[in-house]
Amino acid sequence: NYQRRIQQLNAIRVIQRNGRALMKIRNWKWWRLFTKIKPLLQVTRQDEELTQKQEEIRRMKTEMESRTLQIQETEQQLQMVQQERTVINERLIHLTEALVESDEVRRKRNISMI
C-alpha cells in the first residue's frame, strides 16, 4: 500500500511538471506550428502506406499474369502430350492386332504342316 502511494505521488509530480511545461510552450509560435503540422504528418504517413499498397498490388498483378501464362503453356504442353499418347496407343493397338493376326497365321501354318 505504501509503495502504491509513493508511485501515485511520483505520477502526480510528473503530470504536474508536464502540465507546467505545456503551459510555458503553448503560446510559442513554433509550438502552434507543430500542433498544426502534426496531423499532416499522419496524412503523409497514410499516403506512403497507400503508395506501398498500390505498389504491392501492381507487383502481385504482374506475378499473377506471369503465372497465368505459365499455366496456359503447361496446359498446351499437356494437350500435346495427350495427343501423342493417343497416337501411340492407337499404334500400339494396330501393332497388337497385327501381331495377333501373324501369330494366328503362323499357328495355322504350323498346324497345316503337321
Domain count, the chain: 1
DSSP 3-49: HHHHHHHHHHHHHHHHHHHHHHHTTSHHHHHHHHHHHHHHHHHHHHH
- For 80, the domain range is 2-113
Q: pTM of the full predicted structure?
A: 0.49
Per-residue pLDDT of the chain (114 residues; tens, 9 = 90+): 899 999 999 999 999 999 999 999 988 899 888 888 888 888 888 889 999 999 999 999 999 999 999 999 999 999 999 999 999 999 999 999 999 999 999 988 888 877
